[in-house]
Chain A
Amino acid sequence: MAKKRGISFSGIYLTLILIIMYVPIVLVVIFSFNESKISSLWGGFSLNWYGELFRDRSMFEALRNSVVLGLLSSFSAAVIGTLAATGLTRYKLKSGKVMEYFATLPIMIPEIIMGMVFLTFFSLLGLPFGMVTLVIAHTSFCIPYVFLMVKARLAGLDKSYVEAARDLGASELRAFYDITMPLAMPAIVSGMLLSFAMSFDDVIISVFVTGVNTNTLPMKIYSQIKTGVTPKTNALCALIFVVTIFLCALSMRISKKK
């Protein structure tokens, strides 16, 4: 193809979209190195806010809670979602369509309703609010992401692979372990990463089901809005941003390897 010189419409369009999407992120990263206390004014380069961030125990506590919560709920969702997808693909149940609908329902229901529902349910059960209730709630809204991804992957998978394994002497469980799981692994991993991201930034449901002493990072940041966002938050966002980029690159590498 001949290379066209000069400015083209598609070039302008692309630049504009990229600016709208990424300039705010770049600004947050830049302002995390801001000397000034006011976020929107540049007062010279400094690493002060990072220092402050690392000294802030409560911020660290919240980050730790969020990571633990994300890992536990995305892992539980991966197990339950994968089993559900495998079962619904493997057995042609009459209730299959209904089950599929129920499995994906949590993404359709508004979060505020889900939060209310969990609050009522957990108080009814008398569960102490805290990490346990958070994990249960997050797992339940993460399941659809894993379920949908694994289901799509399995639907596209020739069922003769599993049949061949059974024919060659593998039990049903063994065939799942040797054939279905490795072949569905890219979908399981990307479903898990998506679940982690969803859990990591959830505020609404978490507010309803958390206890007094369990603060997650998004809840912490959200509550800071009232007292004013300091560049400390910017520093935290910059760090999370770096970790996110790393995780995305990782997941792309994994799904590229068939």
Chain B
Amino acid sequence: MEALLQLEGIEKRFGDTEVLEGINLTVGKGEFITLLGSSGCGKTTTLRIIAGLEVPDGGRVYLSGKDVTNLAPDKRDVNMVFQNYALFPHMNVAENIAYSLRLKKVSKADIKTTVKDALDLVQLPGYESRMPNELSGGQRQRVAIARAVVNKPKILLLDEPLGALDLQLRRQMQKELKRLQTALGITFIYITHDQEEALDMSDRIALMRNGHFEQIASAEEIYNRPKTTYAAQFVGGANIIKGTVKYLKSENAVIEVSGGEIEAKTRGAQIKEGDRVTAAIRGENLEINPASETYSGLAATVTDKSFSGGMLRITARLADNTEITCHRQGIDCQYAAGDNVKLALKDAGAVLVDLEGGI
């Protein structure tokens, strides 16, 4: 994949706060990459540095191999969809969309057809003469996207563009953004704090935390093989168990934990017997069975049950008070709070996290 954008050791401080601690990122042509993280993790600052609205205190930004670190935002082939859309309130929809073309001195006739095409693309035909305050949130969103793509930028930056929309509209717009990205073939750098949105839309996810990347990988990779405790918990809310390595068994390690033992993927890390390690287990990789001799698994006590989104979540506690949540489909459940159960791991669904070295 051809590298379109490269961030090299980007640092940024606001006063005494270090917002970015020297981050590196390479984005390819036509890629849909999501910067995922909770608020204050530095994702918006990263985006603003790419756009040129913020100058980094250290590091370089390369666009198509050219150093653009100190280049003004109007000289970059990058456009942004702002979180609050930032549609110019004194211009109508057509004037908003045509703004960048007007600056480029495109002819009136060309502007008219381009604006019309852009409105067709975002499915708002005939909205040319509306004012921004006459539009709904979803419509403003579409106009903001049309305004940003009409210039055919190399990269489109989207700063939580769906944050202000209700759930139903969000899901619909997610599909549309994905469709747009495929249709336009433009690289999208997308910001969200919603891990479901990130998993659903992105080719790659860059998970951010306190000014650095925890993991940059495909959705599948980050979900199945999280690198750190934070990645495992932030994306998909995995269970975290601490234990001691009992022995190694080909690519797996057998770990002694409270209430039994589990087998987890070592992913090539250099560990040995007796090491303290942390494992991440997805809730759907756990099976819950009655506490009897017939079943193997970790001994636990059920503490809570909840049902939402067609999924039943049963929370159980190990002897050392580690809370484990198991997921399964449907609402039927024979267990109640206080029941003793055994938690069995399905098809080696545990991975070691927070390892030095390894992948």
Contacts and interface: CB of A to CB of B under 8 A. Distances in A.
Contacts of A171: 72, 74
B86 A164 contact: yes
Given A166-B72, A167-B53, A160 B84 contact: yes
B103 interface: yes
B88 interface: yes
Contact of A167 (B73, B88, B104): B73
A170 B90 contact: no
A182 B90 contact: yes
A169 B103 contact: yes
A165 interface: yes
A164 B74 contact: no
A164 B89 contact: no
A90 to B, nearest CB: 13
A183 to B, nearest CB: 6
A161 interface: yes
Given A182-B90, A258-B89, A258-B90, A168 B99 contact: yes
A251 B103 CA distance: 32
Interface in A239-258: 258
A183 B80 contact: no
Contact of B90 (A166, A174, A183): A183
A171 to B, nearest CB: 6
A252 B252 CA distance: 77
A169 B74 contact: yes
B74 A170 contact: yes
B82 A164 contact: yes
A197 interface: no
B265 interface: no
A158 B84 contact: yes
Interface in B64-106: 72-74, 78-80, 82-84, 86, 88-90, 99-100, 103-104
Contacts of B151: 168-169
A167 B80 contact: yes
B147 interface: yes
B27 interface: no
- Interface SS of chain A: helix, strand, loop or mixed? helix
Contacts of B326: none
B51 interface: yes
A166 B78 CA distance: 11
Contacts of B83: 160
Contacts of A161: 86, 88-89
A239 B78 CA distance: 58
Contacts of A182: 90
A163 interface: yes
Interface in A161-202: 161, 163-172, 174, 178-179, 182-183
Contacts of B100: 168-169
Contacts of B78: 167
A92 B84 CA distance: 22
B232 to A, nearest CB: 35
Interface residues of B, number: 23
A166 B82 contact: no
Contacts of A169: 74, 100, 103-104, 151
A37 B82 CA distance: 70
A171 B72 CA distance: 9
Interface in A197-251: none
Interface string A147-159: 0000000000010
A196 to B, nearest CB: 25
A165 B72 CA distance: 12
Contacts of A167: 51-53, 73-74, 78-80
A28 B312 CA distance: 84
B328 to A, nearest CB: 45
A8 to B, nearest CB: 39
Contacts of A258: 89-90
A183 B89 CA distance: 8
Contact of A163 (B82, B90, B147): B82
Contacts of B103: 168-170, 174
Interface string B123-153: 0000000000000000000000001100100
A258 B92 CA distance: 13
A164 B151 CA distance: 13
A166 B54 CA distance: 12
Nearest to B159: A160
B72 A164 contact: no
A172 B72 CA distance: 9
Given A158-B84, A168-B100, A170-B103, A163 B73 contact: yes
A182 B89 CA distance: 10
Nearest to B133: A258
A4 to B, nearest CB: 38
A183 B132 CA distance: 14
A228 to B, nearest CB: 53
Given A164-B80, A168-B100, A169-B100, 13 more contacts: A158-B84, A163-B73, A163-B86, A166-B73, A167-B51, A167-B53, A167-B73, A167-B80, A170-B74, A170-B103, A171-B74, A178-B99, A182-B90
Report, nearest first, the 7 A-B pairs whose CB atoms are least far apart. Answer: A160-B86, A168-B100, A164-B86, A166-B73, A169-B103, A169-B74, A160-B82
29 contacts: A158-B84, A160-B83, A160-B84, A160-B86, A161-B86, A163-B53, A163-B73, A164-B86, A164-B88, A166-B52, A166-B53, A166-B72, A166-B73, A167-B73, A167-B74, A167-B80, A168-B74, A168-B79, A168-B99, A168-B147, A168-B148, A169-B151, A171-B74, A172-B72, A174-B103, A178-B99, A182-B90, A183-B90, A258-B90
